[in-house]
Each structure stands twice: as C-alpha cells, then as structure tokens.
Amino acid sequence: STVDASAPLDASSYTRERDASFGADAPLEALLAVSAKLTGAPAVRPASLQTLVLRGQRLRALPPCVGACGALRVLDASENLLSDLPEALCRLRRLQELLLACNELRSLAAWVGALPQLHVLNLQHNRLRRLPAAVLRIKGLHYLRWGAQKPSSDA
C-alpha cells in the first residue's frame, strides 16, 4: 500500500487521550509530541515534515505515513513500545537522526544501514542482541548508542 505524501498526517489512532485540539491549516516542518497525550494532529503534510518527535506516546507501531515523510531529517520514537520498524522507513533518504531508545526492539533490519545520510542512531535500552553488519558500515554514522540492552524475555 502507498501513502499519499500530500494528505494530512492523522495521529489520532497512534496516541492515548485527547488533550489538545489544533486548528491551524499551515503545513508544519516539525511535529513534537513528547508525552503530550496527543490524539489529533495539526494539518501536517508528510512531504514537508523535517522533524517528528513521538517520544513517550506508548506506541506499539509507527504511523504508516511516516514512510511518506520524504523530507524527514529527525525521527525520535524513543520511550515507546515498538517491537519492530516498518520497512517503509527505508524510503527516508534524508534521515540524519534515528532515535529509538527505550523501546522493545528485538532486531534491526539491514535496510537501516542503507539510509545514506544517517549520522545518529540511538538504540539503547531495547532487547537487541546484535546489530546488522550493514549498520556498522554506514559511512556517515558519527554517533551510535546500542549498549545497555534490556534482558531478553525468551533467554
């Protein structure tokens, strides 16, 4: 399935309680939801979004439209309940920072190593046993944190 990059981002099914309402129609370059109990989102055109912070939203999955955010440079989905990442993220060719600390990730797909502009990758406090070799070969990667993993429940 494809996602229309010109359609507004609807965060309503990926958050917990209605705490704020938005009325602005102007497209945003950044959407920050840090433990905000956000259920609605402003009119965000995924194609123009450069920073997306969904920290502390108790997400079990990322919204499917994140893969359509072609201008995205920073994705912070730390402090959630993510157990895997959608393959659609491999289309984020401009992504520079991928922050996934404090989730439930058990593995990381090799396509993460193919993100050409990735400079920062934070995977601390997940359930990872190993990193794909492709991640270790990212030429522009300046900051990698993956230590301090949670114990695996199936060990």
pLDDT tens-digit readout, 89-111 = 999 999 999 999 999 999 999 99
CB contact at 8 A, 131 and 109: no
CA-nearest of 20, 24, 25, 49 to 37 is: 20
| Span 43-84, pLDDT tens digits | 456 778 899 999 998 999 998 888 989 999 999 999 999 999
pTM: 0.76
Distance CA 3, CA 66 (A): 9
CB atoms under 10 Å from CB of 154, counted, come to: 6
